[in-house]
């Protein structure tokens, strides 16, 4: 499967760094929801689902973790550590996050509001739908 990444402009000066992300410009959809994940233990696996329609961009803004993307045919493992790079988690892509460093913070930009009925949480069901 193809990995879609977005390389955001790092605006740095002597005071530090700043990254700005604009909907429909820096990422290819309107942002309806932002959430962030932090304080996850090293042995924990998060995600373990696909979304039927939701598109998201994930950015590791602190620390490190691994992101597994699986379209039902191919799998990619993405090392997450770049503050200025977003990874597209498209609809119908099974994803898992693991290997969290204690200081890891994942920022997620989502194209829609939270909707539990959009989740496919059973891998076999995901495979049958895809
Ligand atoms: C995803 C990956 C990358 C809400 O109430 N509103 C929200 O917007 C979200 C995202 C979650 N929640 C609730 C649902 C659960 O009770 O927060 C709790 C933890 O969510 P979840 O177990 O789904 O967390 P992850 O890390 O497994 O998955 C999350 C997102 O839910 C999911 O959409 O793609 O991050």
Q: Which residue has the tokens 């898992």?
A: 96
Residue nearest to atom 6 of ligand 1 (CA): 114
Enter the pTM of the model.
Answer: 0.97
| Per-residue confidence (pLDDT) for residue 12, from 0 to 100 | 87
Gap between the Cα atoms of 83 and 51, Å rounded: 25
Helix (H, G, I), strand (E, B) or coil at 45: coil
49 is known as an active-site residue: yes
CB 56 within 8 A of CB 6: no
Q: Calculate the CA 77 to chain-centre distance.
A: 12
Say whether pLDDT at 113 is over 90: yes
**Closest CA relative to residue 21, chosen from 32, 13, 12, 31:** 31
Q: What is the mean pLDDT of residues 6-27?
A: 96
- Tell me how far the alpha carbon of residue 14 lies from the centroid of ligand 1, in angstroms: 36
CB 100 within 8 A of CB 63: yes
| Per-residue confidence (pLDDT) for residue 68, from 0 to 100 | 98
> Taking CB atoms and a 6 Å cutoff, what residues make up the pocket around ligand 1?
33, 35, 37, 46-47, 56, 89, 108, 114
| Per-residue confidence (pLDDT) for residue 62, from 0 to 100 | 98
φ, ψ of residue 118 in degrees (nearest 5): -85, -10
- Tell me how far the alpha carbon of residue 70 lies from the centroid of ligand 1, in angstroms: 18
| Per-residue confidence (pLDDT) for residue 73, from 0 to 100 | 97
**Closest CA relative to residue 126, chosen from 46, 118, 3, 110:** 118
CB 92 within 8 A of CB 124: no
Under 8 Å CB-to-CB from 122, ≥6 apart: which residues?
none
- Tell me how far the alpha carbon of residue 48 lies from the centroid of ligand 1, in angstroms: 11
Q: What is the pLDDT of residues 76-89, one digit of tens each?
A: 999 999 999 999 99
Q: What is the pLDDT of residues 17-74, one digit of tens each?
A: 999 999 999 999 999 999 999 999 999 999 999 999 999 999 999 999 999 999 999 9
Say whether pLDDT at 129 is over 90: yes
């Amino acid at each position: 499967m193809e990995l879609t990444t977005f390389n955001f402009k790092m605006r740095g000066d002597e005071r530090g760094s700043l990254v700005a992300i604009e909907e429909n410009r820096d990422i290819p959809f309107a942002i309806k929801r932002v959430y962030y994940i932090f304080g996850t233990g090293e042995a924990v696996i998060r995600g373990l689902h696909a979304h039927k329609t939701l598109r998201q961009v994930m950015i590791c803004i602190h620390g490190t973790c691994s992101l597994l993307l699986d379209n039902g045919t191919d799998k990619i493992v993405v090392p997450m550590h770049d503050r200025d790079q977003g990874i597209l988690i498209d609809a119908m892509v099974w994803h898992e996050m693991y290997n969290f460093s204690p200081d890891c913070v994942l920022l997620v930009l989502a194209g829609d509001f939270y909707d539990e009925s959009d989740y496919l949480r059973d891998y076999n069901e995901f495979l049958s739908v895809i």
